[in-house]
Chains A and B, each alone.
Chain A
């Protein structure tokens, strides 16, 4: 539509609502609803994506307390993740070590279509990967790279029993017959550029493997959700840029009246693959995982990947025409309706799974693209929700027959009925929501109590912090007929999607510390008696322990300029919440923060002669300030022998 661009430009610059118009219940009521008394716990864990922080901040809901930030795709100097030798392999890719990524969509593992509290998956958009977070220790347990992909945005959504996690190409790229990236003119997009949609299998212990990839036309695959109930064998992926533009997409990819949702029968595709269908092609990618016994990450290179060409396997993928560059695709709790956020559309289209099945049966197609049948829009659409706001992006559900959709441009959340497909309520947000989250709101069984709006623009909501602001989130009570704003809180990074998980599903599996006797790290030091320093050529290995309030050894001599010193620090505490840190002057890396029973390694290349202090960086005890040591560094040609000690004070 010709008027879309000016309309968006005008409305995009206008922010709806100001604090005086807020639909806030009397502030006393609201305060009471989010008040979690000191020492009390929140009802839900909110696992938020960190966006460009690459991490996963964790908030308590309804209080909005920031509980922790899980390091995932980015180095975390706060604890040495991605800096120390044990966690560096987690960030290994076929491009080498990568210290940062853009984390978008957390999705909790499900059993029978409900959150089960075992893991949370999250995707890296920039260098395509999926991470699995272990909720027993809130640490990244595994990261798998997605080969033959670019811009892994339609990820990491799970099927009803976590059989698969999804991945897809937001940015199509030129691919040869082996799906290798090609050195071709960008203007050859229409001829050479392709996309892939990947299904990553999840094992019983959570281990991930790329089971198969489906080769698809070179559009931008944007978001995804698996079906449930009647549609549980299917997964849905929105796409835009069916125009196949490769420059100035804001204009050139907004021309078509309709783009597509790819409906994929993943069960059928998986069965075909199990029977040997598809082709194994070279597709080098890394799988990095935490070896729990050795307490360190390991990388393995996987050489090939199985690819299905849909033109050879009819019935695994269909295109559902959907208005105007759809963004989110969300399946209601019954699995009957597929809601697309038509971000440039004036209506919110809702497809019917039953009608889709009928159209497939009747071969009610309006065309075909690269062997993929395009169903007839009129035959599959259940309803078009009118007046659902401008710039509709994402929808979640309360389990009581209502859907809630974010409207970015009109900066509001719109509540509508899944029976009448009419809007019943709306509430302003501050400002411009992207995703929204209802705990369990994309599962078979939502907890329809709270809704969190994850806004993209903050402006005047909090005390100003210069040009760069945290994003704002609003907690909204959805338990009544009218939505009520309860709480406004800033969030770290740029939260995209989030998951709300009932706390009781997670609490009982918490690990408080690691058992020292189960630590099989090759460089572990289990007792102070085993602490030692060994020279191996120019490498010096310091096997060092920490316990309140000293290191063993804490006086080390015999290190020389030009050596590479490995401090293998084992925290031999066996108690909850007694980490010890480690930092040495001049180390060109982050500190170590070592949990009880854990071993972590810091590499130090001393460049100057002298005596250099090291110390515990975590205020561990009353005598924390005394928790220090010295390393003497002698000239390269010195003949000072390695020696070490603790507690022998010269008089």
Chain B
């Protein structure tokens, strides 16, 4: 790896620092009673409402259908994910300094695997919330489940739920792309 590739790799790794500051995924909910909108911003270390009290209000609405409360404090992924990204940043910067292509490849593969695992985990998480409903729920619609789409838009009773990647996700993609570019060009030059 030449200096240029090392720099690109360092940028790719350091870019991931931004992921700590922006949501990686967003879920917007559109309902007649919420002309101003209501939604969630999912970051690697926290889940917040789009507006100050949205999370509380979403939980308030969800209790009618018997959905578990979304309580960021009890979601282990939010504690693990920051460490994964920290690992990617530190190891990525290390690889940039070291200049080892094989290590870079392993880094990219690990990153992709982490990303896939994250999406699978997110799917399972939303499956659990959407299907694992309390028997005491006030509103029970036979056959109805409330899993938001992994990506895209879906009608759930009166709510149109839209789930889309957030800025953090795109930053991760760019980081992945830069690392792959560094790997690719260093291959050609070798």
Question: Contact mask A544-576 → B, CB, 8 Å, 1/0?
Answer: 000111000000000000000000000001111
Q: Which residues of A contact B (CB under 8 A)?
A: 547-549, 573-576, 622-623, 626
Interface residues of B in 25-82 (CB under 8 A from A): 36, 52-53, 56-57, 60, 64
The answer to whether A622 and B64 have CB atoms under 8 Å apart is yes
A547 contacts B64, C-beta separation under 8 Å = no
Q: Are B60 and A547 in contact (CB under 8 A)?
A: yes
* 8 A Cβ contacts from B119-170 to A: 138-139
Alpha-carbon gap, A622 to B60, bound state (A): 12
Q: Could you tell me the distance between the alpha carbons of A622 and B32 in the complex, rounded to whole angstroms?
A: 14
Most buried by A among B36, B60, B64, B138: B60
Complex contact B60–A623 (CB within 8 A): no
A/B interface sample: 18 pairs, CB < 8 A: A547-B60, A548-B60, A549-B138, A573-B57, A573-B60, A574-B52, A574-B53, A574-B56, A574-B57, A575-B53, A575-B57, A576-B36, A622-B64, A622-B138, A622-B139, A623-B64, A623-B138, A626-B138
Sort chain B's interface into a size bin: under 10
A575 cross-chain contacts in B, Cβ below 8 A: 53, 57, 60
Nearest-Cβ distance from residue A626 to partner chain B, whole angstroms? 8
Sorted from nearest, which 8 A-B pairs have the closest CB atoms?
A574-B53, A575-B57, A623-B138, A574-B56, A548-B60, A575-B53, A547-B60, A622-B64
Distance in angstroms between the alpha carbons of A547 and B36 in the assembled complex: 20
Complex Cα gap A303–B181 (Å): 82
Tell me the smallest distance from the CB of A551 to a CB of chain B, in Å: 15
- A residues in contact with B53, CB < 8 Å: 574-575
The CA of A415 and the CA of B92, in the complex, are separated in Å by: 79
Q: How far is the CB of A546 from chain B (nearest CB, A)?
A: 12
With a CB–CB cut-off of 8 A, which chain A residues contact B139? 622
By a CB distance below 8 angstroms, the chain B residues around A574 are 52-53, 56-57
Cα A549 to Cα B138 in complex, Å, equals 10
> In whole angstroms, what is the CA distance A626 to B64 when docked?
12
| A621 and chain B: residue at smallest CB distance | B64
CA distance A327 to B190 in the complex (A): 98
* Bound Cα distance from A547 to B63, whole angstroms: 11
Cα separation A622 to B64 with both chains bound (whole Å): 9
* Cβ distance B91 to chain A, nearest Cβ, rounded Å: 41
Q: Which residues of A contact B57 (CB under 8 A)?
A: 573-575
Which residues in B have their C-beta under 8 angstroms from that of A573?
57, 60
Closest to A512 in B: B36
Q: How far is the CA of A576 from the CA of B35 in the complex (A)?
A: 11
| CB nearest to B139 among chain A residues | A622
Distance from B124 Cβ to chain A, minimum over Cβ atoms (Å) = 29
Please measure, in the bound complex, the distance between the C-alpha atom of A623 and the C-alpha atom of B64, giving whole angstroms. Answer: 9
A618 CB to nearest B CB, Å: 14
Name the residue on B nearest A647 (C-beta): B136
Q: Which residue of B lies closest to A548 (CB)?
A: B60
Complex: chain B residue closest to A576, CB-CB:
B36
Complex interface: chain B residues within 8 A of A626 (CB): 138
Closest to B54 in A: A575
How far apart sit A548 and B64, CA to CA, in the bound complex (Å)? 9
- Known contacts A623-B138, A626-B138; can you find 13 more A-B pairs with CB under 8 A? A547-B60, A548-B60, A549-B138, A573-B57, A574-B52, A574-B53, A574-B57, A575-B57, A576-B36, A622-B64, A622-B138, A622-B139, A623-B64
Q: What's the minimum C-beta distance from B176 to chain A, rounded to whole angstroms? A: 39
Smallest CB separation, A619 vs chain B (Å): 12
| Distance in angstroms between the alpha carbons of A573 and B60 in the assembled complex | 9
Please name all residues of chain A whose beta carbon is closer than 8 Å to the beta carbon of B52 when the two chains form the complex.
574
Give Cα distance in the complex from A574 to B56, angstroms.
8
Give the CA-CA distance A549 to B52 in the complex, in Å.
21
The residue in chain A whose Cβ has the minimal distance to the Cβ of B36 is: A576
A572 to B, closest residue via Cβ? B56
Task: A574 to B139: give the CA distance in the assembly, Å.
Answer: 22
How many whole Å from A580's CB to the nearest CB in chain B?
Answer: 12
Q: In the complex, how many angstroms separate the beta carbon of A623 from the nearest chain B beta carbon?
A: 6
CA distance in complex: A575, B57 (Å):
7
CA distance A590 to B52 in the complex (A): 33
Q: How far, in Å, is A528 (CB) from chain B's closest CB? A: 12
Nearest residue (CB) in B for A515 is B52
A471 to chain B, nearest CB (A): 34
Residue of A574, A622, A623, A626 with most partner-chain B CB within 10 A: A574
- List, in ascending order, chain A residues with CB within 8 A of B64's CB: 622-623
- Measured between beta carbons, the chain B residues less than 8 angstroms from A622 are 64, 138-139
Specify the chain A residue showing the minimal Cβ separation from B35.
Answer: A39
Closest partner residue, chain B, to A577 (CB atom): B33
Min C-beta distance of B186 to chain A, whole Å: 53
Residues of chain A within 8 A (CB-CB) of B138 are 549, 622-623, 626
B181 → chain A closest CB, angstroms: 47
Contacts of A548 in B (CB 8 A): 60
**Cβ of A576: which chain B residues have Cβ within 8 Å of it?**
36
> How distant is the Cα of A576 from the Cα of B34 in the complex, in angstroms?
9
Most buried by A among B36, B53, B57, B64: B53
When chains A and B are docked, how far (Å) is the Cα of A547 from the Cα of B57? 10
What is the chain B residue whose CB lies nearest that of A597? B53
